[in-house]
Amino acid sequence: MDSSDSITIVRDRISTLLRQESATPAPRDVVVLAVDGLSYAFAADCWTGAAQISRLRSVFPTTSSAGWLSSLTGLDVARHLVPGVVFSDPEGSDELINVFDYRGRDLTPARETVFTDARRLGYRPSAVLGDMETYGGSWRDALLRDAEPVLGHRFYTQDEGTYRERDPRLLVDLVRDALGRTLAAPGEGPRLVWCYIELDRHIHHFGYDRHAARFLAGVEELAQELADAGTVVLAHADHGLTPTRRDPDLTELIETLARRNGFRMGGAGRTRWLYPEPGTADGVAVELRAKLPESVRVARSEELFPEGVRRRIGELVLIAEGDAFLVDHGYRYEHGSLTDAELDTPYAAWGI
């Protein structure tokens, strides 16, 4: 049995801390490091000096768009209605949207974030967009609502296109510079500074390796420096990643079935959904179960999602349960499904 709290508790944990601080004569600044793609097990190995580190359970599907929105709004997927990356147009057209490009109304009913809470408590909330500068649209607007955006600090997304590994110490220095400048910007009152770091880009290609360990060690040194100077530092993540290799036969089989049966595919990573033509889902499911390897679970969407979410995803869902699935070229680690490596994420604190 797993008794971990969901990542939806992050908003409340941060707001509770801000409330406690705001009741003191000199509320401290609070920095929140948002590290995309960080698993609990790896964080616990690297952050041995944290005053607290606990395990939180991510949401399903274990994607960035669903995870970050769950943490910062406190709503689960059934309530914020963003199930992943590619899904039906919220405005009702026949198109599928990509959530990171989508600009439109009705993406999510979420209207408040941890930054809304911070303002109410007398804090000045800023969001260092960091590697989120590459994503625009309504999703980011909903996620960062009520935060002052801070631009000009990218870490893992400095190169367009192919990912290139950089010296982890230089990356930590970039984070230090971004936080230092944001904390030192003129203005009255205590600050909440949230900073997005897309470590996920590295993990997709190389996994939890020496680079990642050195980067996290440097992040902990930085957190300790800030804590020593009187700032509270928190860190959280959206999901971890699990080893995944591309299965070329599976890729070809799904393409062939999609062509023959005329279905489209949405989702991302290790969980995809199919939009069969009306009345054909049962037949497509039978064919998929007969032809796909046992390591791919074929489910009906009603087994997995409540009605509001089902309107956005297809009738059939494919979930990777083994290490072979559909994977982008060059990727060795993926997320989106239900392994512990993907679901378990850290919540850590320094200077608390």
Give contact residues for Zn ion (rule: CB under 5 A): 36, 64, 200, 238
Compare residues 36 and 344 and give the one whose CB is closer to Zn ion: 36
Provide, rounded to whole angstroms, the least separation between the CB of residue 222 and Zn ion. Answer: 21
Amino acid at 25: P
Residue nearest to Zn ion as judged by C-beta position: 64
The CA-CA-CA angle for residues 37, 18, 26, to 5°, reads 130
- Helix or strand run (H / E) with residue 331: none
Provide, rounded to whole angstroms, the least separation between the CB of residue 39 and Zn ion. Answer: 11
Compare residues 38 and 118 and give the one whose CB is closer to Zn ion: 38
Provide, rounded to whole angstroms, the least separation between the CB of residue 36 and Zn ion. Answer: 4
DSSP bridge pairs for 267? 86, 272
The Cα–Cα gap between 327 and 270 comes to 8
Q: For the chain, where are the E strands, in sequence order? A: 5-6, 30-35, 52-57, 86-88, 96-98, 124-128, 148-150, 191-197, 232-236, 242-243, 245-246, 264-268, 271-275, 296-300, 316-320, 324-325, 333-334, 344-350
Compare residues 64 and 301 and give the one whose CB is closer to Zn ion: 64
Task: Look up residue 131 and give its DSSP letter.
Answer: G
The Cα–Cα gap between 323 and 244 comes to 5
Compare residues 191 and 335 and give the one whose CB is closer to Zn ion: 335
DSSP bridge pairs for 271? 268, 319
Provide, rounded to whole angstroms, the least separation between the CB of residue 193 and Zn ion. Answer: 20
Provide, rounded to whole angstroms, the least separation between the CB of residue 4 and Zn ion. Answer: 18
DSSP 39-65: -HHHHHHH-TT-SEEEEEE--SS--HH
φ, ψ for residue 11 (rounded to 5)? -55, -45
Closest CA to 42 of 289, 227, 237, 193: 237
Compare residues 15 and 65 and give the one whose CB is closer to Zn ion: 65
Provide, rounded to whole angstroms, the least separation between the CB of residue 311 and Zn ion. Answer: 24
Compare residues 36 and 334 and give the one whose CB is closer to Zn ion: 36
Provide, rounded to whole angstroms, the least separation between the CB of residue 291 and Zn ion. Answer: 31
Compare residues 64 and 108 and give the one whose CB is closer to Zn ion: 64
The Cα–Cα gap between 135 and 171 comes to 20
Provide, rounded to whole angstroms, the least separation between the CB of residue 63 and Zn ion. Answer: 7
Compare residues 21 and 238 and give the one whose CB is closer to Zn ion: 238
The Cα–Cα gap between 1 and 135 comes to 37
Task: Look up residue 341 and give its DSSP letter.
Answer: H
